[in-house]
């Protein structure tokens, strides 16, 4: 089942990089949703890119440009990139289409196994989960966002993490414990898009 189809972004496009960074710092790192993110925030090696393209093809091209940028950068300078889309992928269904196109482009570039993608959207809804289930909030961000992750870096980090398979379940339990109000208290912009 796919989620809601009608949606309008709650924030102006120019706020995308700042809000995405605040979301990473307040929720992803602040709640330890991703235990690997804090060092990258401390080292300032995360890039917050934005695509303002109003077409799917243009958005994919912007994604490819960011993929090229991270591929040609040293990991110590640019470890990971989050690309937010302000004009395309407004609905979750359209975002899934964009994500599929970006994954295909990654594979066509011969970079499968070098990079992997993670996805976030204001309407994020896991397959088989009710739209209003709080567990969806683990992947809800202010704007549609594709996270480009270096697989080699992730593999090196996972060696030092005993039970990575437990991270999703732990995060879902944390969402249940905090509830909507607790999440909004930690990142007030959530109130505007949910």
pLDDT tens for each residue of 132-144: 899 999 999 999 9
Q: What is the DSSP letter of 78?
A: -
CA distance 176 to 182: 10
Domain layout of the chain by residue ranges: 13-193
The HSE-up count of residue 145 (CA atoms within 13 Å, CB side) is 27
Tell me: the pLDDT tens digits for 12-52? 899 999 999 999 999 999 999 988 898 899 999 999 999 99
- Say yes or no to pLDDT of 162 above 80: no
- The whole-number pLDDT of residue 5 equals 42
Distances in Å between the Cα of 57 and the Cα atoms of 64, 88, 102, 140, 151 are 11, 10, 10, 24, 26
Residue predicted with more confidence, 87 or 165: 87
- Mark out the alpha helices in 44-135 (DSSP H runs): 56-71, 92-108
- Mark out the alpha helices in 148-194 (DSSP H runs): 151-158, 167-186, 190-193
- 3-class DSSP state of 27: helix
pTM: 0.91
- The whole-number pLDDT of residue 164 equals 77
To the nearest whole number, what is the mean pLDDT of the chain?
A: 90
Total H helices, total E strands in the chain = 7, 4
């Amino acid at each position: 089942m796919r989620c809601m189809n009608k949606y309008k972004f709650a924030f102006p496009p120019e706020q995308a990089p700042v809000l995405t960074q605040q979301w990473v710092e307040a929720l992803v790192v602040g709640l330890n949703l991703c235990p690997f993110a804090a060092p990258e925030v401390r080292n300032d090696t995360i890039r917050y890119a934005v695509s303002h393209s109003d077409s799917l093809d243009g958005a994919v091209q912007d994604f490819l440009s960011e993929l090229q940028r991270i591929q040609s950068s040293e990991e110590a300078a640019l470890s990971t990139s989050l690309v937010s889309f302000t004009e395309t992928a407004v609905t979750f269904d359209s975002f899934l289409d964009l994500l599929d196109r970006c994954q295909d482009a990654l594979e066509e570039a011969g970079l499968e196994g070098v990079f992997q993608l993670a996805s976030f959207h204001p309407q994020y809804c896991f397959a088989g989960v009710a739209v209003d289930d709080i567990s969806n909030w683990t992947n809800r961000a202010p704007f549609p966002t594709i996270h480009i992750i270096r697989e080699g870096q992730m593999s090196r980090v996972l060696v030092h993490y005993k039970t990575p398979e437990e991270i999703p379940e732990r995060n879902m339990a944390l969402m249940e414990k905090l509830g909507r109000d607790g999440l909004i208290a930690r990142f007030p912009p959530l109130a505007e898009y949910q």
